[in-house]
Amino acid sequence: MEAIELEQDQTSQVDTFQPVPAVVSQVRKDTPDTFTLTLEPEGAEPLPSFLPGQFSMLYVFGVGELPISISGDPQEKGKLLYTVRSVGKTTHALVSRKVGDSVGVRGPFGKPWPLKAARGKDVLVVAGGIGLAPLRPVIYYILRHRADYGRLVILYGARSPRDLLYQKQLDSWSRLPDVQVLTTVDYGGLSWHGHVGVVTTLFRYVRLQPLHSVAMVCGPEIMMRYVAWELEARGLPQGDLYVSMERNMKCGVGFCGHCQFGPYFICKDGPIFTYREMRPWLGKYEL
C-alpha cells in the first residue's frame, strides 16, 4: 500500500473549481440521522488522495454543494468516505443518494491535522458528535504508523447512546495496546452501561503528559471551547492544541470570503487551527 506524504499539498492535484463525477458505491446508516457514503470514480479519472482533516465540496446535482470532511482511511486509494448528518435540504439530499447515483466532488481542500508535528508524542483525540468523522482518518493514520507516536487516547462524547458513531470500531480500537478509548453520552437510558456525562468529565480518567502531547479536537464549537479550557487547565500549551473549525464554506480556496472568521478563511487557512490562533475569536457573537 502506498504511503501518504504528510507534507504533500493535495489541493494542487486537482482543478479546484471543476467537480469530478463520482458514483455512490455504498451508503451505510451510522445513527438515525447520520450516514456514511462511499464514493468511487465514475469514469477513468481517479478520485484524489487526501490528508487527514481535509474536506471536499460535494455537489448534489440540482440541489446544492456542501463542504464535508473526509472520514475514511487516507491510505485506502480509489474511494472516499464521507459521514454526513442530515440536518437540512442539501444534507438530506446527499444522504438520500442511492448506490449508483452520481455526486460531484471538488477538493480535497484545507490544512490537515498536525500529524507531522505530533510524531513522537502522545496524541489525544477529543471528538463530540459527528466531530469524530474528521478525526477518524487521524486514528487510521496513527494506527498504521504506530511506532511514530506515543499513546493514543480517544475521548468521544455524543448526545445519547444511539448517536455514537463507529461503535464497533471504537470497541476494536479500545482493545489495542497503547490505545485508550473512552466514550460518554450526555443522557443514557437504563440499558446504557457506559459513561454518562459531558465529554470534559472524561479527562479525569486520562493520564496526560501535557508537555509531551498533542490534542486534536473536533465537535460543536461550544464543546471545543470547554475542552480547550480543560486542557489548558491541565497544562497543555495552546500551540499543541488543535481544533477543527466549521463555517459556511463555498469556494473552498479562499476566494469567495463566505467562511471568513476574523483574519482567517476557514477553507484555506483551516479548517484545522491551533487553539492559540482561534482563542481570540471563539465565542464572539458577531463572527
Partner 1 sequence: MTGQVLLDTLRIHPFTEGFTQEQLERLAGLAGQVRFQKNAIIFHEGDESSFFYLLLSGSVVLEVTAPGRSLRIQTLGKGEELGWSSLLAPTPGKQFQARALEPVEALVFDGARLRRACDEECSFGYAMMRSLLKVVASRLQATRIQLLDVYSPVKSPAGA
Interface with partner 1 (CB under 8 A) = 33, 64, 66, 85, 87-91, 128-129, 157-159, 163, 184, 186-190, 192-198, 200-201, 204-205, 219-220, 222-223, 226, 248
Least separation in angstroms between residue 51's CB and partner 1 is 24
Query: Rounded CA gap, 113 and 141, in Å?
Result: 11
Least separation in angstroms between residue 190's CB and partner 1 is 5
Q: Is the dihedral of CA 256, 261, 263, 268 positive or negative?
A: negative
Least separation in angstroms between residue 128's CB and partner 1 is 6
Least separation in angstroms between residue 49's CB and partner 1 is 26
Tell me whether residue 43 or residue 62 sits nearer to partner 1 (CB atom): 62
Tell me whether residue 121 or residue 225 sits nearer to partner 1 (CB atom): 225
Query: Rounded CA gap, 52 and 67, in Å?
Result: 15
Q: In terms of Cα–Cα distance, which of 132, 74, 66, 70 is closest to 103?
A: 66
Tell me whether residue 72 or residue 128 sits nearer to partner 1 (CB atom): 128
Least separation in angstroms between residue 214's CB and partner 1 is 23
Tell me whether residue 144 or residue 195 sits nearer to partner 1 (CB atom): 195
In our burial notation (b when 16+ CB lie closer than 10 A, e otherwise), range 206-230 reads bebebeebbbbbbbeeebbbebbeb
Tell me whether residue 17 or residue 205 sits nearer to partner 1 (CB atom): 205
